[in-house]
Structure 1
């Protein structure tokens, strides 16, 4: 682990020096981030460190007002904020193994810097900045974002560990669902299982029972236990040193048509996983998933049409409206998903798939999610029901399945030179669960 981290820092330093020469700066000054007061309040919003800072210093995810100065030929300088404060615990100056990667300088307020030409990567320009410093220069940011798409061995290690943690929560969530727990109880059991609190989480958990599973970003956790536990869709992650897991599973008791659809979508997702490769086009993978979904819809009796007819007529988009996946890293939807060169040129998704978060060719080193879905969403199915192709859909079966909400299966995958490494499925296998 230590060896991987120092390799990672050496790589970042080499990239930074190349960018400093290219863009003609004396250095890059990166902020950890700052606290923000709630409106008309004396409390702060939950703090989240800048991903640019965490890229270098993942061990300080809860330390606002720190700065990192990167210069050519020098060890990065970490200005560690140690204010005079009797309201809160002031962290001690760190002395762990990772500190050898930095020159660490304690500051009570702000760093004293004399560089004439700095690129400042921060939410806001600091009040100690010189007039010659530039705030978030666009071309430099494009280069930095392009670099972040390619994960180092250290970053892959962190993402792998985040998946191991999150899988523990998903297995407990399944147990809670089968025991008849509420959404709130499932959510709390998940947090307890992975030893995270709310501020540790990479995003707000989606814990949807029954019809709530049809709300793609369902944002509540009901305390009330429903009369019947038909289905659970849980989209929940974890963090390891700033890196996010983003996993979704759908649980339901066996013996129903919906249970067969869960099995079918899980198998289709695994089939698509086997087709992911370096050089593959992500939009083509998304379209391929629509074909696999159309086969499942036909096989289950939900739609009476051949797969290509379903795709051409837009039927599959009513059941699977979102994109296949996205880049994953220090951010759940990691930067650079549409960017395809260092000038920031973007390749937008095709008009028929507007919610696709990732486009272009996959490269070895990318970490992506693969997350197909099959939902019964009234606002999407009603126009289909009233359309010319509505007669191809078995609406009796749709109405029978609507109370189950929907299905999503999401894995976190590293693209390699020879195929993939599936962080999520590997973590499940280590827990003797090959069926999820």
Structure 2
């Protein structure tokens, strides 16, 4: 098992995170967080292992079949890790394990037990406690272990609201890793632009992207890449990536790498032959203007909702100008007439998960991180995407020249004390810059 990620963030930061969680727990309680498990692909072959983000956030430990137990009682705290014991035979076949003896010193925890002894030890360690912080269904295998332990608590609380709020604000170390994820993702998009030409396939361009991720130390994509030529771009989560690229059409690429567990997320849309047609240029310029306005507004004290409302107005104005929408701009916005061409939100939180945790609404304690009203005040340390788009379905009742055009432009944005910083600015998005790059 690859343990190299543990060097990317200092152990002291994981200690601070655990102490932060403990400080917000009630007295005489415990919290349990389970790791991910390996998932079988077929027979005895597994999918690549990816650690549970919450477990990673508190431990920096990259092995499956593990559990972190935090205890707060009698004016003191404990951190205990359950993990797989060393096994020379299994390690010969499947890779090294940290083991019980090494875990306390390596991860700066108080004690370690075998995961095989979870039920017995968990019962002993928590028998005098009144409440347990646990997120049900986060890891089903862990829920079963808890049931087997026969431990009883007068109250079960969910740790998710506490940890979600902690994860929403990125530390300096996290920001550095996200900058790297953004930079590598940008280099991959640049390579894709340079390698795109008619008659290549979407799959070939996806291969170019993954090559660049790997070349710069990002072993995995942070989500399934979208490489959508022509009207495939009007399918928001298109991932088949198996069609030939056609001369005269656009290519929409939504792809980002995962670097040291942190996600990059970029979308660019560009002409397959290197030159925008006039209708493509007109749609693209509307989306670009909307994104620029949104970025201008995504600053401390404002909200995603404010930026989205401004972006929607620009897009509706543009669609009226092109004859795609007809009517009064305010009435069209009120009726949400634009939703047939822009059916998603402006962006999302970004971090250990590409759609990261955290509430979007003013009532940040309600646990509704998917609230449609994204009116929470932005503050320094938050990282989010800004990704307006327009998708003109081939079946839309619009002027013929615009049918089948799908455009999205997405960047990763760090909210800073003085405004914001674009973490993915290395990849061009101005029409002239894109055409110049592709001409090279």
TM-score (norm 2): 0.79
| 1:392 paired residue number | none
Contact preservation (8 Å) 2:219, 2:258: no
Corresponding residue to 2:52 among 50, 53, 72: 50
Contact preservation (8 Å) 1:169, 1:194: yes
Map 1:84-163; keep pairs closer than 5 Å.
84-85=89-90, 88-93=93-98, 99=106, 101-102=108-109, 105=112, 107=114, 109=116, 112-113=121-122, 114-116=124-126, 117=129, 119-120=133-134, 123=139, 124-125=142-143, 127=145, 130-132=149-151, 137-163=156-182
1:33/1:254 CA distance change after superposition, 3 Å: same
Contact preservation (8 Å) 1:164, 1:424: yes
Corresponding residue to 1:31 among 18, 30, 34: 34
SS of residue matched to 1:175: helix
Map 1:167-178; keep pairs closer than 5 Å.
167-178=186-197
| 1:410 paired residue number | 410
The question of 1:204 aligning with 2:224 is answered: yes
Post-superposition offset of 1:70: 3.4
**In the aligned structure 2, how far is the partner of 1:56 from the partner of 1:264?**
43
The question of 1:360 aligning with 2:362 is answered: no
**In the aligned structure 1, how far is the partner of 2:109 from the partner of 2:198?**
50
Contact preservation (8 Å) 1:324, 1:371: yes
**In the aligned structure 2, how far is the partner of 1:345 from the partner of 1:265?**
29
SS of residue matched to 2:350: coil
**In the aligned structure 2, how far is the partner of 1:258 from the partner of 1:320?**
16
Contact preservation (8 Å) 2:221, 2:258: yes
1:199/1:435 CA distance change after superposition, 3 Å: same
Gaps spanning 5+ residues in structure 1: where?
351-357, 386-394
* Greater relative CO, 1 or 2 (CA 8 Å, sep 6+): 1
Contact preservation (8 Å) 1:337, 1:359: no
Post-superposition offset of 1:408: 0.4
| 2:347 paired residue number | 325
Residues 115-156 of structure 1, C-alpha deviation per residue, up to 9 Å, x if partnerless? 114545551325376333669944432222222222222222
**In the aligned structure 1, how far is the partner of 2:337 from the partner of 2:155?**
43
Map 1:372-391; keep pairs closer than 5 Å.
372-378=388-394, 381=396, 385=397
Post-superposition offset of 1:37: 3.9
1:206/1:346 CA distance change after superposition, 3 Å: closer
Residues 197-238 of structure 1, C-alpha deviation per residue, up to 9 Å, x if partnerless? 99822211111001101111112011x524425111011111
1:246/1:138 CA distance change after superposition, 3 Å: farther
**In the aligned structure 1, how far is the partner of 2:432 from the partner of 2:16?**
36
Contact preservation (8 Å) 1:30, 1:52: yes
Gaps spanning 5+ residues in structure 2: where?
1-5, 435-440
SS of residue matched to 1:195: helix
Residues 185-208 of structure 1, C-alpha deviation per residue, up to 9 Å, x if partnerless? 001111011108998222111110
Contact preservation (8 Å) 1:249, 1:409: yes
Contact preservation (8 Å) 1:8, 1:153: no
| 2:438 paired residue number | none
Residues 3-57 of structure 1, C-alpha deviation per residue, up to 9 Å, x if partnerless? 963563343133122123x2641x4332221124468x55445533211112124
Contact preservation (8 Å) 2:80, 2:112: yes
SS of residue matched to 1:85: helix
| 1:66 paired residue number | 66
Corresponding residue to 1:290 among 312, 319, 332: 312
Residues 73-101 of structure 1, C-alpha deviation per residue, up to 9 Å, x if partnerless? 668444453444167322153989x9464
Contact preservation (8 Å) 2:218, 2:257: no
The question of 1:232 aligning with 2:242 is answered: no
SS of residue matched to 1:233: strand
SS of residue matched to 1:424: coil
The count of residues paired between Structure 1 and Structure 2 equals 404
| 2:18 paired residue number | 13
Contact preservation (8 Å) 1:373, 1:409: yes
1:234/1:134 CA distance change after superposition, 3 Å: farther
**In the aligned structure 2, how far is the partner of 1:77 from the partner of 1:152?**
24
**In the aligned structure 2, how far is the partner of 1:406 from the partner of 1:362?**
29
**In the aligned structure 1, how far is the partner of 2:92 from the partner of 2:348?**
41
RMSD of aligned C-alpha atoms? Answer: 3.7
Contact preservation (8 Å) 1:347, 1:359: no
**In the aligned structure 2, how far is the partner of 1:157 from the partner of 1:164?**
11
1:313/1:378 CA distance change after superposition, 3 Å: farther
1:161/1:75 CA distance change after superposition, 3 Å: farther
**In the aligned structure 2, how far is the partner of 1:226 from the partner of 1:171?**
17
**In the aligned structure 1, how far is the partner of 2:368 from the partner of 2:190?**
41
1:226/1:251 CA distance change after superposition, 3 Å: closer
SS of residue matched to 1:274: helix
Single out whichever of 87-96 and 5-14 deviates more from structure 2: 87-96
Contact preservation (8 Å) 1:19, 1:140: no
